[in-house]
Amino acid sequence: MRRHKITLGFVICMLAAGCGLRTSPEEVNAAANEAVRAEQPEVPADRFESGEDIIVGWIDTFEDPTLIALVKEAQSNNKNLRAAAADVTRARALAVQAGAGLLPNVSLNAGGSRSGTESGAGTNLDLGLQVSWEADLWGRIGAGSRAAQAGAAAAEADLRYAQHSLAGGVAKAYFTVIDAGQKLAIAQETVEILTEVKRIVELKEENGMASGQDSALARSDLATAKESLATVEGGRRDAIRALELLLGRYPAAELELGKTLPKLPPAPPAGIPSQILERRPDLVAAERRVASAFEATAQAKAARLPSLSLTGNTSGASSSLSDLLDPANVAWRVGASLLAPLFDGGVRRADVQIATASQEQALAAYGAAALQAFSEVETGLDQGVLLARRRDELKTALAEAQEAYRIADLRYREGESELLDTLTIQQRVIAAKNNLASIERLLLEQRIDLHLALGGEWDQ
């Protein structure tokens, strides 16, 4: 009797100690939210304005049916995206598995045997129902379930981020292919012009109106232009292969696209959306990993406390199937067991330390991701202004260079200037055309980067 009293007293003490150490789900959630807010970067007040809702179909703002079709194809066929989708399915299954511990485990068993002697034989039938359930006294199982659910939410956010990133990657590859096509057209035009220049110079040399130096210079420039044309052709094929890979196609460089870049969508309104930390899928994923880490820490701490399990079973045995469930043949048993960890070599303490370190790691990762998000927004907005200025200046440079070339070509044909002067000005025209084409592509890419930085589309 004394031993029973001592045991009962020990159990009561363990339960009382556990009650004092238990952390409620609300407390865990509040601690996680407070830690997340502490990791968010400080932003000047004048950089924030009221944001609008995000529209997922931001790729439609480019109003390019070909681009929209390519993005849809990539969303369906891209291998990396399919892997991310499978990871979501796996995370959801793990969440269901973790939450199953909160419910009773019920099993049904049935069997039969036949035995006998020389004088006769008999049949024995048995049917049983077993139930077991661990009472979640300190919230260990619940914390594990919530940690898994937060992990599943993070995987879903990762999938959304992968979808956004893939759309952006397809758009950029599409712009690159069109830009390469435009530069290919410029290179072909240059070859045609220099071919004509070579013909004219050689004709003048035959008539004694040009020197052999002019002819050699014309042939050299034509060969250089042809080499540049071959380089641009190769670059365009490489760009097409890169796009085909994103689409899940075989990279055969056979994709046929248009020759004109889509119209530049409007810029976002002034000010950074105040919901940026709630919009971006990658930040949502990072925040959910923080929540999962906090729950995992609570789970590890609760694992150091006693666990209470309840079991019960009901079974019936009879030689006749009709009598198997007769109350006279049914037996039942109910039991309870308390498991209190005393010594485990420091395993549970180490589990708490590991979970705490993972929690700190998740918080640091969230803080870095949040700071990077604001950096991408600021850079995107600044680049939009800078690229617009560069485009305007390049338009002026191209117009002036074309006028200078027109005059120089006319003077050369009349014998008033040297061929070298004309070709030098022509190279300026070609460079200005190429630079302007690149700026137009970079402006479109800047819009893509800004959409990704803001987590979608800004409502105009």
DSSP per-residue string spanning 41-95? PP--GGGEE-----BS-GGGGG--HHHHHHHHHHHHH-HHHHHHHHHHHHHHHHH
- Answer whether residue 163 is part of any domain: yes
Residues spanned by the domain of 377 = 28-102+138-305+350-454
Q: Residue 227: exposed, middle, or buried by beta-carbon count in 10 A (0-12, 13-18, 19+)?
A: exposed
Give the C-alpha separation, 234 to 123, whole Å.
83
Give the C-alpha separation, 81 to 93, whole Å.
19
Q: How many domains does the chain have?
A: 1
- Answer whether residue 328 is part of any domain: no
- Answer whether residue 17 is part of any domain: no
Closest residue by Cα to residue 290 from 370, 349, 351, 347: 370
Task: Give the containing element (helix H, strand E) for 112.
Answer: strand 105-117
Model pTM score: 0.76
SS3 state at 241: helix
- Answer whether residue 275 is part of any domain: yes
Q: 120-135 and 105-117: which strand pairing? A: antiparallel
Query: What residue type is assigned to position 15 of the chain?
Result: L
- Residue 187 sits in a domain whose CATH number is 1.20.1600.10
- At residue 370, the pLDDT reads 87
* Token pair 């690159």 in the structure block, residue: 176
**Helices marked H in 256-346:** 276-279, 281-302
- Answer whether residue 154 is part of any domain: yes
- Answer whether residue 324 is part of any domain: no
Q: Does residue 225 contact residue 187 with C-beta atoms inside 8 Å?
A: yes
- Answer whether residue 202 is part of any domain: yes
- Answer whether residue 441 is part of any domain: yes
Mean pLDDT, 10 residues at a time, over the chain (460 residues)?
50 52 69 67 48 56 92 87 85 82 77 63 69 79 87 90 90 94 91 87 83 88 93 94 92 90 82 68 90 88 81 65 57 70 82 90 90 87 90 93 90 78 85 91 92 74
DSSP per-residue string spanning 244-274? HHHTT----S-----SSPPPPPPPPPSSEET
Distance from the Cα of residue 306 to its chain's centroid: 41
Report how far apart, in Å, the C-alpha atoms of 173 and of each of 44, 167, 177 are. Answer: 35, 10, 6
SS3 state at 393: helix
